[in-house]
Amino acid sequence: MDYKQALKNIAKGQIAPVYIAYGSESYLIQELVHKLTDKLIPAEERAFAVGRYDLTETSIDAVLEEAETLPFLAERKLVVASGAVFLTGAKDTGKVEHNLDRLAAYLKSPADFTVLVLTVDADKLDERKKIVKTLKEAGALVPCAVLAEAELIQWVQQQAAKAGFSFAPGAAEQLIQYTGTSLQTLGKEVEKCYLYIGAGGTITGAELGQLVTKTVEQDIFQMVEHIVQMQMEQAFTMLAELLRRKEEPIKIVILVARQFRIMLQVKDLTQQGYSQQQIASQIGLHPYAVKIAAGQAGRFEAKRLTGILQQLGELDYQMKSGKIDKVLGLEMFLLRLAA
């Protein structure tokens, strides 16, 4: 079952005995655990009816023993064990041995008073493994993958609606551009927006620009967007702000080069017939970031992007070898782009 279906079933009281929550979006994994906790365990019982374990330190045998032990002063218990790397293709570097036959046996006859949740931060499980096949057949797998572009925007708007305010048209997309696609970060920024605008308010893009905490990577992204749009005055203003904040010019060059390299990769893969979803998987980016990069890349020929990357490589060398003043080098690079 997918993540959304799992939440719907939990809300209806259709609780499975075992969940394997995996994926790169840890926020969704934690939300699944929170929903189960709220549905199963009264607040006053959670101190002794919710057990948490780390499978890099605790064996699956010990976790299953806990699952099979009757709950203390409670009708049901929730057992959550993180770090189930043994379900993936990655090498398990932990010193703990896990008896996976014991887990397979538990699946056949799970304790009716326990809900067991195993989590792992991995995009895929290794379906060649017998235990993963068994878990899949039992319907225990719950993938918690990153949200697609439309889902991400919808999620931001829903979080705002839950808080009691709204985003002006285009502002939700702008928030994602400013902060990236991490739901954890976006959730915190939505909370900040609510504290600023209050119940019933509508927050605009201009207000977001003053309110949202942006990483240096997001500032570089915005500067590159100004460059792509040939808004050179804004690009120089953003560069000046980065330098005022004591950001290292060489780091700025590296991050600018990264963005142009992504544009070139996206352009190349698009020309080869890859979809944006496939490109995102291929180069390890969120589909929303790929969409933005595709729009930016559309304004350049591949040869031009290659030339810009060569210029940035040369600038990096000149900076590191002391052949040019770092700030002057950055400014000259922008001027050449404008020309």
Structure confidence by residue, pLDDT tens digits, 8-19: 999 999 999 999
For residue 252, give every residue at least 6 positions away whose Cβ sits within 8 Å of its Cβ, in sequence order, or none. 220, 239, 242, 330
**How far is the C-alpha of 261 from the C-alpha of 257, rounded, in Å?**
6
Q: Tokens 């504290």 sit at which residue?
A: 195
Local confidence band at 337 (pLDDT 50, 70, 90 cut-offs) = confident
Q: Which domains does the chain have, with CATH numbers?
A: 3-143 (3.40.50.300), 149-211 (1.10.8.60), 216-338 (1.20.272.10)
Residue 227 pLDDT greater than 80, yes or no: yes
Q: Dihedral sign, CA of 89, 258, 242, 170?
A: negative
Local confidence band at 120 (pLDDT 50, 70, 90 cut-offs) = very high
pLDDT at 185: 87
Least confident range from 109-118, 192-201, 202-211, 307-316: namely 202-211
Show the beta-strand stretches assigned E in 123-211: 141-143, 166-167, 202-203
Residue 118 pLDDT greater than 90, yes or no: yes
Nearest CA to 175 out of 213, 216, 143 is that of: 213
pTM value > 0.85: no
pLDDT at 245: 87
Question: Average pLDDT for residues 94-106, to the nearest whole number?
Answer: 89
> If you average pLDDT over every residue of the chain, what do you get?
90
Question: Average pLDDT for residues 5-32, to the nearest whole number?
Answer: 93
**How far is the C-alpha of 135 from the C-alpha of 124, rounded, in Å?**
14
Local confidence band at 31 (pLDDT 50, 70, 90 cut-offs) = very high
Measure Cα distances from 234 to 219, 237, 238, 254, 337 in Å: 12, 5, 6, 20, 14
Nearest CA to 141 out of 23, 233, 51, 50 is that of: 23
Local confidence band at 42 (pLDDT 50, 70, 90 cut-offs) = very high
Q: Which amino acid is at 88?
A: T
